[in-house]
Chains A and B, each alone.
Chain A
Amino acid sequence: MKPTIYAENLSRRYGSTVALDSIDLNVPSGRIVGLIGPNGAGKTTALKAILGLTRFDGKLEVLGLDPSKRRDDLMEDVCFIADVAVLPRWARVWQIIELTEKLHPRFSREQCMKYLAKTKIPQNKKVRALSKGMIVQLHLALVMSIDAKLLVLDEPTLGLDILFRKQFYSNLLNEYFDQERTILITTHQVEEVEHILTDLMFIKDGKLVVNASMDDIYDRYTELMVRPDEADEARALGPIHERVLFGRHIFLYEDVDRSRLEPIGELHKPSVADLFVALMGDKEELAEQVRTMEGAA
């Protein structure tokens, strides 16, 4: 079976800036992939290339099609939501539903109405008159009513309250996701998605720093929490990152024998956010922070 997304040497330059630097990707179906990176790391460029919205160098196939040439065919099986509300502001809610129904062969009006019934969105209002949260709700309802093979979410829950965000991700997982589908998410709110991800990618300066399944990640990285008097012993084992929290020192190790860590302190699964800081942050600056924290303690 063909991979959902396949890229080889995927690159994109804007003048002298390199937005994507020879990225290789191979995402099979049935995955939920988180693409995480700081602002300007190339996330949006990567998504745009996948969606056929920008040119690129190298090889890229999405569901076996070249997105830069076959965007219209590709969109029968791919759905996406850009970071902020992009629904046409002049259109009324029912007009947008009608347009999507007539233009998208895989759209289910029934399903869409079911989602909308849970919201307070009036059908006769123009998008212009809806609140920001409602526009996102409408867009999500539309997208989740399309039977697509790949769903691309670029900051999908920006500007939504926590209740709706929780509900959205649980809907996504329980009602939408299955083995045939692939979901690609970028977000800054890493904590909200980390428990639903199957794969994780960190992108920095146009390069993939991490590209692994969550199981591999938890295999590879271990977090150790120790009391200050055991810090030196922990440090001797070569952690890749250190921080201090409530007087405890927390170390992050890569590929280290767990049996050597266990006697020193408590072992934890690292959170995606901590991994992100450890792997993507400025090392010098972090070392400086640790020194000041120790000085204060």
Chain B
Amino acid sequence: MIKDTLTRLQVLLRREIWESPIAFKWTPVIIAGFILLFTVLALIIGMKVDNRMVFASDSIRMFAELDPEAKRLIVSGGLFSISAVFTQVMFIVLVFYLSGSLYDDRRDRSILFWKSLPVSDTLTVASKIVTACVIAPLLYMAGVALIQLLLLGIGTVLALIADVNPLTELWLAARLPRQWTLLVYAALVQGLWLLPIYAWLLFCSSWAPRLPILIAVIVPVLIGTFQHFWSLFSSFSLPEVNLLWIVLQRIGAGVTPTSVEWETISRDGNDSFRPSEETLMSFGSVTDHLFSVDMLVGLVIGLVFLVGAVWFRRRATDA
């Protein structure tokens, strides 16, 4: 029974990628392509300016003489930061994907075909949220791995020109296996962190008579604005709790490379703070995040919206 359900879920996940190949397969490839393009352009311009690559070779040699810790920070940190672009684009893609996922088939009436298959509405909703929380992060992280390998390849050529050992100075310093494990782990935790937002989009997609994305955005904006002005007029102060602010904070926080907690660093770090690989993200910080109270609260809210989405899906037909 469970095996049967899992097989069906797997088929439904394939269906999601078949339906949106651009969102899930081609966007990561295109981002990687852009990064590669800009790198190559920068190199070409650099070579025009820096005849015979004297400066470039010098700086690579200088880099090779740094202590191992600093080298790791530069190489792995640099490669790591690239993933931020992927994570942010993925979020935008998922907002559109989720808000359409239970609405488009109602609009074009293909829901009648999907409902003619012996698949429960719970499994249908599950396939959408798993796509957003698991499948999309994995595919986008594959895009990150691809561009990292390509950039290291370019670095290898430059290192060879500069007479520096690329294997020890670049590839080992990048610590790819550790980095990829961490990236995938963080991407999955981030998926859970954003579950309340994903589930809200799915919930709106499930019942909205039209324009689910607009409804999904406008409701928190209206509530937030109302809270703001209500508090301002009734007690001449800003509200203590503002829904819009909470939503934006959740989107901005989490465990992506861009959500480094600078405040904490500047507070605890004083003068002795030295940036290292761990500053951006570490297994420890991701795990702390996974077991935080905020995470738990978000999961509960997310589940409520998912149950709501299933409830409406069961009653949904065409038009």
List A residues at the B interface (Cβ < 8 Å).
Answer: 48, 51-55, 71-76, 79-80, 82, 84, 86-92, 95, 99-100, 102-105, 139
Contact = CB atoms under 8 A, between A and B. Distances in A.
Contacts of B108: 86, 88-89
B98 to A, nearest CB: 17
Given A95-B18, A99-B11, A54 B117 contact: no
Closest 9 CB pairs of A and B: A75-B118, A72-B120, A88-B110, A102-B11, A86-B112, A82-B112, A76-B118, A86-B109, A53-B317
A103 B317 contact: no
Nearest to A74: B118
A104 B7 CA distance: 12
Prevailing SS type, chain B contact patch: helix
User: Is chain A's binding surface mostly helix, strand, loop or mixed?
Assistant: loop
Contact of A72 (B12, B15, B118): B118
Interface string B109-127: 1111111111111010000
Interface of B: 7-8, 11-12, 15, 18-19, 105, 108-121, 123, 314-315, 317-318
Contacts of A103: 8, 11-12, 117-119
Given A71-B115, A72-B120, A104-B117, A86 B15 contact: no
A110 to B, nearest CB: 19
Contacts of B18: 90-92, 95
A79 B117 CA distance: 8
Contacts of B115: 51-53, 71, 75
Contacts of B112: 53, 80, 82, 86
B113 A73 contact: no
A73 B118 contact: yes
B118 A82 contact: no
A79 B119 contact: no
Contacts of A71: 115, 120-121, 314
A82 B8 contact: no
A80 B116 contact: yes
Contacts of A87: 110, 113
29 contacts: A52-B115, A53-B115, A55-B315, A71-B120, A71-B314, A75-B119, A76-B118, A80-B116, A82-B109, A82-B318, A84-B109, A86-B109, A86-B110, A86-B111, A86-B113, A88-B108, A88-B113, A88-B114, A89-B108, A89-B110, A90-B19, A91-B19, A95-B18, A99-B11, A99-B117, A102-B7, A103-B117, A104-B117, A104-B118
A89 to B, nearest CB: 6
A75 B317 CA distance: 15
Contacts of A88: 19, 105, 108, 110, 113-114
A88 B16 CA distance: 12
Nearest to B105: A88
B302 to A, nearest CB: 23
A53 to B, nearest CB: 5
Nearest to A71: B115
B19 A79 contact: no
Q: Tell me which of B105, B113, B315, B317 has the highest count of chain A C-beta atoms within 10 A of its own C-beta.
A: B113
A123 B112 CA distance: 22
Contacts of B116: 51, 75, 79-80
Q: Give the one of B19, B117, B314, B317 with max A CB within 10 A.
A: B117
